[in-house]
Amino acid sequence: MIDVHCHILPGVDDGARDMSESIEMAKKAVEQGIHTIVATPHHLNNQYENAKETILPRVIELNQALQAEKIDLKILAGQETRIYGEMVEGFEKGEIQPINGTNYVLVEFSSSQVPRYTEKLFYDLQMKGLIPVIVHPERNQQLIEQPDLLYQFVKKGALTQVTAASICGDFGKKIKKFSLQLVEANLTHFIASDAHNTRNRTFKLREAFDVIQSTYGEDMVYLFDDNAALVIEGSNVYKEVPERIKKKKLFKIF
């Protein structure tokens, strides 16, 4: 398996605190059947500023440490960028690190809302040849309440990535339900760990795929697995036609 969203780089954000914790995370990943991880440190979130030039040497350092420990895991460079109005300029200045140097960029919203300028920004990013990948949309309150917003983003070319732990119910029943609705409506294209440690924010990829397989069948698991491989190559990912999430009407009984 390939994990396209993980905070395994040591000492750069709220993920692995040091190299020893990165090594522990790597061992846990291998136990899950993961062979490749895209390291995605926070950029411009809670004062973390992990620009491209600082990420690349740390990825090399971690790969060397894993080789020394004989851990069969490959780390690729990525970044989880908190959405901001000047992302295009950030890319042009060399501050944005797409997934493995491709044209796919991970974009994070706050947990509460979606900025009004998002649609225009996504259009501008795509005009530059970049494809925005919205991370953990299932944990955004505005998207939960207004899922048609996400439908419109996806319809206009954005992709999304749901967190494995959300599928497993670790963030509560409401978020699990919404996560599965996103899968069912073809509104997500990747399942990733967003792992931060080996304690309360670990990988859960295998468990999430078990849930998806039992609910939607093996073909859906293959789609997510294939998309993770395609995205690190910079190839076109599989996209089914997105559907709107239908809210169930409440009928009063008299």
The tokens describing 43, both together, are: 């950029």
Distance CA 68, CA 26 (A): 13
| pLDDT of 33 strictly over 70 | yes
Amino acid of residue 177: K
pLDDT for 95 equals: 97
Main-chain phi, psi angles of 76, to 5 degrees: -115, 160
Q: Distances from the Cα of 16 to the Cαs of 1, 9, 113, in angstroms?
A: 21, 6, 27
Distance CA 25, CA 27 (A): 5
∠ CA 79-83-88, nearest 5°, is: 80
The tokens describing 126, both together, are: 């795509």
- pLDDT tens digit sequence for 168-189: 999 999 999 999 999 999 999 9
Which structural domains are found in the chain, ordered by start?
2-233 (3.20.20.140)
pTM score: 0.95
- Give the 3-state secondary structure of residue 118: helix
Name the percent of the chain in helix, strand, coil, to the closest 5.
45, 15, 40
| pLDDT of 249 strictly over 90 | no
